[in-house]
Every structure is written in structure tokens, then in C-alpha cells.
């Protein structure tokens, strides 16, 4: 579970995502099922509850979905982002116009289930790595288009940390960049010549020989890609604190402990955002 430093995302960032999802769902004529069946003045109380164990994320997005459909709807968050839940635990309580509850239900649940799945997957890796070293679990840019900020927030809710948010906030020299540039050294030198003094430069390396090249020209961080735990230990020894070390490549709950034990600073995992399972949450009339 994350510490008290977990801050909510600004509404200005979340609302456009939620609004787009509602527009997609409401289409040209709105919720024709609910509008036909539920009287306009009907009110209801409901809860969103967990049907399995997990870590919650996305409560603000869910609350915004209900508020955008009807601002008079009362939305009370019982378990905030980062909270652990068990089957039956109430996450959100709702009270107000029944049409609003039923119309916003699916968008709210889609976001809440998806983001809670990301948080839960992250937490599983954080817990598995913790006894073995100092490494932080970090996400990648392998996110759902349009949901990056929300999914990266969910990673933080699960106790992980964020890698770069996009192509514009850090230099990450990958193998194809190296191939085009003609080598690691010229790639780093070109990047340093064209970027500001506050921009960090990380380079992906596949071998210890490439690592030596990256260190020779002062890379700020090295991405140690698809290395065995033994090779990672040797890489950490070679770096000796001169750069941040990041392990990457098909790391899961079964292997993350051995990777963390190598002494790396970071472990980056793409699947926590691109293919984690949702957490089953449901809305029921109270």
C-alpha cells in the first residue's frame, strides 16, 4: 500500500477522459433503456462493492462519471485509491436520481475495475520484490491510449513508481536508436548535445560490453534488458553507483525477487499497465 504521498490526479486531467467515455456510451440518443423504464423522479441508493481482494484505484474517475451525468447525485468514497479491499467491501456509496446512477454505472465501473486491476498487479510485484532488495517497481509507456495518466496514477496507488510519462520528459535510447546512430557512444553524445541540462539520459543495453560503453560517456541511467540475475549482479557491480540501474524484460511475480536481489535500483514492467486483469467490482441497489 502506498504512503500518504499518494495525491489525487487533478480533475482538469481526469474529466476529459471520463467525459469522452460517457459520450462514447451515450451516443446520439442517451440511455434509451433507463429513460424508458425509470421515472424521471425516481431516486435510489446504491453501493459499488468489491467482489474479490485487491487494491483500489480510479475512485475519482468514477465519482466524476456520476457527477457529469447529474451533479445532484451524492457520491461518497468509502475506500480511496490505494486501499486494500476484500470481497463485500464497499468502495463507493451513491444516493440520488436513479437514472443518473444507472446511466453512469458502466463508465464508472469500467474505469474503476481497470485501474484497480493495475494497482493490484503493481502491489503484487512490490510485495514480492520487497524482501529481496531496494528496487522500486516502475511502469512503462505500454499504456492504454488516452488512459496513461490514470494508469500511471494506479501504479502509484499500488505502491509502484512512474517511469517517463512520454517522449518529451526524458531521453531513453533504445536498441533501434543505437543502430541508427552507429553505436551507443554517438547516440549518447548526440542526445546530450541536443537536450537541456536537466534532462536525464538513459540507454538500453543488452550486454556488459554495451554497459561499459554507456558508462564511459556518463549515461545517467542504464536499462539492463533481458539479463539473467547473475549478469544483473555483475552489471550492478560494474556501475558501482555511477548511474541508476533498471532491469527489464519479462519480469513477473515468480522472477521479480531474484531480479531485486541483484541490487538494481528499478524494475520496469510493462504488463502491469497493458495486460493486468481487472478487479471485479459491482454496483447494487442498497
Residue 244's closest CA among 266, 217, 214?
Answer: 266
Asked if 142 is an active-site residue, the reply is: yes
Asked if 114 is an active-site residue, the reply is: no
Find the catalytic residue in 225, 233, 234, 280: 225
Find the catalytic residue in 105, 202, 204, 265: 204
Asked if 174 is an active-site residue, the reply is: yes
Asked if 106 is an active-site residue, the reply is: yes
Find the catalytic residue in 11, 19, 84, 106: 106
Find the catalytic residue in 19, 51, 130, 142: 142
Find the catalytic residue in 134, 174, 237, 242: 174
Catalytically annotated residues: 106, 142, 174, 204, 225
Amino acid at each position: 500500500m502506498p504512503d500518504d504521498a499518494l495525491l489525487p490526479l487533478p480533475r482538469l486531467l481526469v474529466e476529459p477522459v471520463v467525459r469522452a467515455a460517457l459520450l462514447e456510451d451515450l451516443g446520439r440518443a442517451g440511455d434509451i433503456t433507463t429513460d424508458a423504464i425509470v421515472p424521471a423522479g425516481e431516486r435510489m441508493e446504491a453501493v459499488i462493492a468489491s467482489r474479490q481482494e485487491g487494491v483500489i484505484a480510479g475512485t475519482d474517475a468514477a465519482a466524476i462519471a456520476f457527477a457529469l451525468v447529474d451533479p445532484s447525485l451524492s457520491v461518497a468514497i468509502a475506500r480511496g485509491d490505494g486501499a486494500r479491499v476484500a470481497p463485500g467491501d464497499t468502495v463507493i456509496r451513491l444516493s440520488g436520481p436513479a437514472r443518473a446512477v444507472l446511466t453512469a454505472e458502466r463508465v464508472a465501473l469500467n474505469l474503476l475495475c481497470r485501474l484497480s486491476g493495475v494497482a493490484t498487479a503493481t502491489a503484487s510485484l512490490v510485495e514480492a520484490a520487497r524482501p529481496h532488495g531496494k528496487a522500486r517497481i516502475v511502469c512503462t509507456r505500454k499504456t492504454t491510449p488516452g488512459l496513461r495518466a490514470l494508469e500511471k496514477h494506479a501504479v502509484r496507488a499500488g505502491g509502484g513508481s512512474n517511469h517517463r510519462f512520454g517522449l518529451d520528459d526524458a531521453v531513453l535510447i533504445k536498441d533501434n536508436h543505437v543502430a541508427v546512430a552507429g553505436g551507443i557512444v554517438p547516440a549518447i553524445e548526440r542526445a546530450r548535445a541536443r537536450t537541456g541540462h536537466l534532462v536525464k539520459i538513459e540507454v538500453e543495453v543488452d550486454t556488459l560490453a554495451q554497459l561499459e560503453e554507456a558508462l564511459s560517456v556518463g549515461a545517467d541511467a542504464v536499462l539492463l534488458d533481458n539479463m539473467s540475475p547473475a549478469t544483473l549482479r555483475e552489471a550492478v557491480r560494474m556501475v558501482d553507483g555511477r548511474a541508476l540501474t533498471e532491469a527489464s524484460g519479462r519480469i513477473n511475480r515468480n522472477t521479480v525477487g531474484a531480479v531485486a536481489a541483484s541490487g538494481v535500483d528499478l524494475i520496469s514492467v510493462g504488463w502491469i499497465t497493458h495486460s493486468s486483469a481487472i478487479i471485479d467490482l459491482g454496483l447494487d441497489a442498497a
